[in-house]
């Protein structure tokens, strides 16, 4: 059965309900037409021009991303720069752009659960619980997770294990005593700075996240706690595999004949010099 953009959006909504997205966010259809046919989907972290060009080359009908193409309103759309250049490719080639951002972060079996598993957390609870309504209707735990480390140890040994698990050359640490024992952790994918106070209240030994600013790091240090900053990209690139696995299963059970491809060429924009 041939799928339309609207059909795929419905499937994504079952995996990461758009109602869970934060008010400032823009999860859902970014550009395109609900009636456009979709026989091939490219999944990526970002709706970059490289991804759009790959979708055009492969004659895909949809690009599904974690990060949205549009978050705040644009006063003008210029086709020679982003996001207009991506919208231009979308219009010319009938490629819909759909994003599951904070909806995927907060969902049950979503990105925070995936990240928590990658860093070796178990017995998970939400770091910042969602509203009772969202929990009751959609099973949403909320932002972040906290739990016990499967392999506790010193901060340095835990950080080394995370580097291996995520394939990283380095991480940033905040802690005066790198030999301190670490048994519990809190995690948040992406930019976790806004939840530093929630981490401090959680009682977890270490906070594993990305994009921590200087003063947020100082706050962790002043409270004699530990922090591992893996970077924004490293904490969220797993969204590609997560969306791939879950959407493939959902499309198969729905009877849609659609090819789903993981875009594998994305890299962290930061390099170590």
Per-residue pLDDT at 176: 77
Residue 225 C-alpha from the chain's centroid: 25
d(CA 51, CA 121): 32
Q: Are the CB atoms for 45 and 236 separated by under 8 Å?
A: yes
Its pTM stands at: 0.96
- Residue range 165-191: average pLDDT? 93
Segment 74-133, tens digit of pLDDT = 889 999 999 999 999 999 999 999 999 999 999 999 999 999 999 999 999 999 999 999
Per-residue pLDDT at 133: 95
d(CA 92, CA 113): 37
- Residue range 140-163: average pLDDT? 97
Per-residue pLDDT at 90: 98
| Token pair for 199 | 């981490």
> pLDDT confidence of 177, banded at 50, 70, 90?
confident
Per-residue pLDDT at 239: 98
DSSP 3-state of 159: helix
> pLDDT confidence of 178, banded at 50, 70, 90?
confident
> pLDDT confidence of 202, banded at 50, 70, 90?
very high
Query: Is the pLDDT assigned to residue 272 strictly greater than 90?
Result: no
Percentages helix, strand, coil for the chain (3-state, rounded to 5) are 40, 25, 35
Check residue 197 and give left, alpha or beta (phi > 0: left; psi -120 to 50: alpha): alpha
> pLDDT confidence of 72, banded at 50, 70, 90?
confident
> pLDDT confidence of 203, banded at 50, 70, 90?
very high
Per-residue pLDDT at 106: 97
Across the chain, what does the average pLDDT equal?
Answer: 96
- Residue range 57-65: average pLDDT? 98
Span between the terminal Cα atoms of the chain, in Å: 50
> pLDDT confidence of 6, banded at 50, 70, 90?
very high
């Amino acid at each position: 059965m041939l799928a339309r953009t609207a059909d795929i959006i419905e499937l994504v909504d079952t995996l990461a309900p758009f109602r869970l997205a934060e008010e400032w966010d823009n999860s859902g259809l970014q550009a395109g037409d609900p009636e456009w046919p979709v026989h091939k989907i490219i999944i990526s972290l970002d709706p970059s021009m490289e991804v759009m060009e790959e979708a055009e080359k492969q004659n895909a009908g949809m690009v599904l991303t974690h990060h949205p193409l549009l978050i705040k309103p644009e006063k003008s759309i210029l086709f020679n720069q982003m996001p207009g250049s991506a919208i231009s490719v979308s219009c010319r080639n009938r490629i819909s752009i759909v994003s599951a951002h904070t909806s995927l972060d907060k969902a049950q079996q979503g990105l925070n659960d995936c990240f928590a598993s990658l860093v070796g957390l178990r017995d998970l609870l939400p770091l910042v619980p969602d509203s009772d309504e969202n929990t009751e209707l959609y099973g949403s735990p909320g932002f972040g997770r906290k739990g016990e480390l499967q392999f506790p140890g010193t901060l340095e040994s835990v950080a080394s294990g995370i580097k291996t698990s995520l394939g990283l050359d380095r991480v940033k640490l905040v802690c005066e005593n790198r030999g301190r024992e670490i048994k519990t952790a809190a995690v948040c994918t992406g930019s976790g700075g806004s939840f530093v106070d929630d981490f401090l209240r959680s009682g977890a030994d270490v906070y594993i996240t990305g994009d921590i600013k200087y003063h947020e790091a100082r706050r962790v240090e002043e409270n004699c706690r530990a922090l591992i900053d893996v970077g924004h990209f490293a904490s969220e690139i797993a969204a590609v595999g997560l969306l791939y696995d879950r959407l493939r299963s959902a499309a198969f059970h729905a009877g849609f004949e659609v090819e789903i491809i993981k875009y594998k060429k994305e890299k962290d924009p930061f390099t170590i010099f």
